[in-house]
Chain A
């Protein structure tokens, strides 16, 4: 199971995900992200710090969010990427597709 926490910092939404993002749980993650962009909240930082595992379904959710950010002229940033997630991102050639920052503060600063 995953836990998705939402925080607002000015016009930037911070999404913190905890747990395993796999086929079983990625749907709620993707729905959360889609919901933000649909509501016009298109400046988003996703904090990956507490993700212990990510599958292709989880990557897909982030790709969808990336597309939605581009399409709405918003911004998406990822931060605190754990090595397990980086391993999967490198394998999928995903690293260069996203703005990835070392910390939440850095991600927020880049979007402000």
Chain B
């Protein structure tokens, strides 16, 4: 596909810094706002960290592929890995209330992914997870660039 960049990393936490550099370079090349680059990094960090930390039953080297594409005012990140099946879509919004004592430590990351991305697709096929994240750029007024241009 035109304008698509792909990075392949091994399932090691230290490899996450390659993802950061990859997303930042992509952001510069396409003139994306810093906030969008950070939001993308936040979500990719979460999903990839989850796969690396909890997704594999062995210590072998596994490949995780990350593709980025900028099309019609939206950034699409596509991930492919052979970790355990993992659907990042949340069915319910978490309920935040109470004070620090009653607040659980975990569960924040997926909430961030589901709040920050405009669309999340998930498919499991042939032993692979395929996760697609879509983030639309907003005009200063708040409209989606994609919608305005249609």
Contact = CB atoms under 8 A, between A and B. Distances in A.
Nearest to B46: A56
A66 B111 contact: no
Contacts of B108: 56, 59-60, 92
A53 interface: yes
Contacts of A59: 108
A63 B46 CA distance: 17
Q: Is the interface of B mostly helix, strand, loop or mixed?
A: helix
Interface residues of A, number: 24
Interface string B14-30: 10110010000000000
Q: Is the interface of A mostly helix, strand, loop or mixed?
A: helix
B13 A88 contact: no
A91 B35 CA distance: 13
Given A60-B105, A63-B105, A97-B103, A92 B41 contact: no
Contacts of B35: 84, 87
Contacts of B16: 22-24
Interface residues of B, number: 26
A23 B17 CA distance: 9
A40 B109 CA distance: 30
A11 to B, nearest CB: 21
Contacts of B149: none
A67 interface: yes
A53 to B, nearest CB: 6
Nearest to A24: B16
Interface in B1-44: 13-14, 16-17, 20, 35, 38, 41-42
B115 A67 contact: no
A21 B99 CA distance: 24
Contacts of A93: 96
Of A1, A22, A59, A91, which is in contact with the most chain B CB atoms at under 10 Å from its CB? A22
Interface of A: 1, 20, 22-24, 53, 55-57, 59-60, 63-64, 66-67, 70, 84, 87-88, 91-93, 97-98
Interface of B: 13-14, 16-17, 20, 35, 38, 41-42, 45-46, 48-49, 96, 99-101, 103, 105-106, 108-109, 111-112, 115-116
